Each structure stands twice: as C-alpha cells, then as structure tokens.
Amino acid sequence: MEYETLLHRWFEEVWNQRRTETIRELLTEDSIHHGLSGPGGGTVYGYEDFEKFHADFLAAFPDLRVELGDVITEGAKLAARFTVTGTQTGPFRDLPATGKKVRFTGSGICTVKDGKCHEVWNEVDFLKMQYDLSPDTPDVE
C-alpha cells in the first residue's frame, strides 16, 4: 500500500494494524521518543524500548485505534496531530484495568534520518486518558 507520509504508515500499520515488524522498519535503532511515558516519565530509547511500550499499551487497550489528523512536512521533519480511542481491559503501569473507554489527543514532531523516524517529540494528553479511566467520570461516547 502507498502511504502519503512516513507518519501515515506509522499510525496505520504500527497502531491500527498492530504490525510490530513495522516498528523496526520505520525507526532508527537509536531512536529517541520524548513524552510517551506520561507525566514525569522518562524517555523511550531505541526500537526495543519502543516495542515494549507498544506491547504494554496494546495489552492494556487491545481495541486501540489512532485517527491521524493533520500532517505537516518540512524538510526532514514531520508534524502530526492524532486522536486515540480504546477500552482499558488490562493494567497499564500503575492503572488497574477499568473496562472504561478513553478518547484523548496528541501531537508530535518527528525528525527523519535515513528515511526512518529518529527523534520524536510527543505531546500526549495522558491526563485526559487518566480522567477517562477514573471511576467518577462519565463514560466516553
């Protein structure tokens, strides 16, 4: 399949199709991912650490879906915004399984090196995700 940009392929294959082999095809071995560990979390380094993050997130949200919004390309950088939806049926970090649905947004800027994502700065609304998972909040439609 032909994709408009590297990020279109990334979100469709890695997240929506769960094609884990695409991670190593689209990331440099020494890739750097800022902002994926939530508030106060550390940086994710390399495709092995990213594969663990990916597996943990999908284990917690097996029906996860990412809808890609705008993608802007400028030189060796790509920027995108996205919306994530899913149902938490497994634990994620210190959050036990809730059975609740989430809907939160994010954006990122990706620097491309040798045709692969090398450094990514993410701004993900993990606080909205935690709000959606709280037992006192209304269910997401």
pTM score, whole prediction: 0.93
Nearest Cα to Cα of residue 78 among 41, 49, 118, 40: 118
- Work out the pLDDT band at 140, boundaries 50, 70, 90: confident
Contact yes or no for 115/29 (Cβ under 8 A)? no
Q: Is the pLDDT of residue 107 over 80?
A: yes
Q: Which of 9-18, 32-41, 72-81, 119-128 has the lowest mean pLDDT?
A: 32-41
Output the CA angle 28-19-109, nearest 5 degrees: 45
Structural domains in the chain plus CATH codes: 6-133 (3.10.450.50)
pLDDT of residue 12: 97
Place of tokens 């915004």: 81
| Model pLDDT for residues 14-56, shown as the tens digit of each residue | 999 999 999 999 999 999 999 997 666 689 999 999 999 999 9
| Model pLDDT for residues 61-70, shown as the tens digit of each residue | 999 999 999 9
Residues with Cβ within 8 Å of residue 27, at least 6 apart in sequence = 46, 47, 50, 116, 117, 118
